Structure 1
Amino acid sequence: MGRVSRRRISIAALAVVVLGLGAGLFWFQPWKLWVDETVSEALPSAPATAPSGTASSGASTGTAPTGTASAPPAAPQAVASGELISHEHSTSGTVKIIRLPDGTHTLRLENLDTSNGPDLRVWLTDAPVKEGVAGWRVFDDGRHLSLGKLKGNKGDQNYALPEGTDLSKYTSVSIWCDRFDVSFGAAELTRV
């Protein structure tokens, strides 16, 4: 084999390595492990604009939230809550579903502390919360409603629930990595 052929093979191999490294960096985004994004949102008191959200497995599309009392509270009121447990990454904090005075609902994360990662979402789900590896991948098996991208991996943040969300059909919340189909952490919701 001549010098020219070896050089071409070396250049081609180097190009493959560089392309593979670039694709791996894009896919895994490892720098996010060292970058924290802290959010400090106050509990909303004015009407929240409900996003359309993305639902799967037949989420309710009625005009009023169901599974709650009919008269709106005079002040924001928790209707469900839970404590986050760790799954793929160490995760802690409190999840609350808050009914606002105008009758809309907001999912609130308080004192959230998890790892940053690529394509993290906040999901309202019907899956049971399981500890350990058994609970990492169960949340996309059934009904789930994406409330949007995680605003930050630390702090307090609010996610408006779409109008017509039937709260009786959802029993848990997951901080879901859509890129790798894995839960960073989750909380079982208990009605208050």
Structure 2
Amino acid sequence: MSRVSRRTVVSAALVTAVAVAIGLCLFQPWTAFTDTRVDEALPTAVEAAGPTAAEATGKTEPARDPAPENLAEGSFVTHEHDTSGTARTVRLADGAQVLRLEDLRTSDGPDVRVYLSTRDADDVRTGLGDGAVQLGELKGNLGNQNYTVPAGTDLSGFRSAVLWCKRFSVSFGAADLTPVTH
């Protein structure tokens, strides 16, 4: 038998250590055992600074902001990770739009983002499709959270809300957004 040189053993150990470090950074296996809960209230319109003329004279009651308007909603379906909860798009009194995730339950994972997609929930298993809009990093894998939709975005063209792992290009889960009839 041939003897393995000390240099070969040290080189192999270094390569193994680097591979393990890269694997840990990419896969972040500890996220399989962690949860992050976020419980945000639905935002309201920004209040105007100071009283209106009618309020200052005391002649009328201050106007109340209209309630947020539900535009579309749907339930999450599981793709690569068990996912449940509700997604709904909401127009606030000031005209701002948000995607609200309620009673969300999914896996924690590396680099999970929240998207609006022009594709149905079943179709995003194979990709987000053209025109998808990223709303931000997933704030937590449990609870209720809000994501601001960029101003000027026409929500009528989006068919689903998606929890997408950008690092591995997979959908954790998605919800078809069905318009709410008023």
- TM-score, length of structure 2 as denominator length: 0.85
The within-5 A match list for 1:95-110 is 95-110=87-102
The question of whether the paired residues in 2 share the 8 Å contact of 1:124 and 1:170 is answered with: yes
User: Per-residue displacement from partner, 1:106-162 (whole Å, max 9, x unpaired)?
Assistant: 1000000000000000000101221xxx752221x3220000000000000000111
Alignment partners' CA distance in 2, 1:19 and 1:33: 22
Number of positions where the alignment pairs a residue of Structure 1 with one of Structure 2: 162
Corresponding residue for residue 37 of structure 1: 36
Alignment partners' CA distance in 2, 1:168 and 1:76: 17
Alignment partners' CA distance in 1, 2:156 and 2:121: 16
The question of whether the paired residues in 2 share the 8 Å contact of 1:109 and 1:156 is answered with: yes
Alignment partners' CA distance in 1, 2:113 and 2:124: 16
Corresponding residue for residue 116 of structure 1: 108
DSSP 3-state at the match of 1:117: coil
Task: Tell me which of the two structures has the higher relative contact order, counting C-alpha pairs closer than 8 angstroms and 6 or more residues apart.
Answer: 1
DSSP 3-state at the match of 1:84: strand
Corresponding residue for residue 11 of structure 1: 10
User: Per-residue displacement from partner, 1:49-92 (whole Å, max 9, x unpaired)?
Assistant: xxxxxxxxxxxxxxxxxxxxxxxx81112110010000000000
The question of whether the paired residues in 1 share the 8 Å contact of 2:127 and 2:169 is answered with: no
Alignment partners' CA distance in 2, 1:44 and 1:21: 43
The question of whether the paired residues in 2 share the 8 Å contact of 1:87 and 1:135 is answered with: no
Alignment partners' CA distance in 2, 1:118 and 1:109: 19
The question of whether the paired residues in 1 share the 8 Å contact of 2:100 and 2:147 is answered with: yes
What letter is aligned with 2:117? T
Residue identity (%)? 48
User: Which ranges in structure 2 are unaligned for 5 or more consecutive residues?
Assistant: 47-64
DSSP 3-state at the match of 1:136: helix
Pairing partner for 2:139 from 141, 147, 151: 151
Alignment partners' CA distance in 2, 1:101 and 1:166: 17
User: Which ranges in structure 1 are unaligned for 5 or more consecutive residues?
Assistant: 48-72
Pairing partner for 1:171 from 153, 159, 168: 159
User: Per-residue displacement from partner, 1:84-108 (whole Å, max 9, x unpaired)?
Assistant: 0000000000001011011111100
Structure number, greater radius of gyration: 2
Pairing partner for 1:82 from 70, 74, 86: 74
RMSD: 1.6
Corresponding residue for residue 26 of structure 1: 25
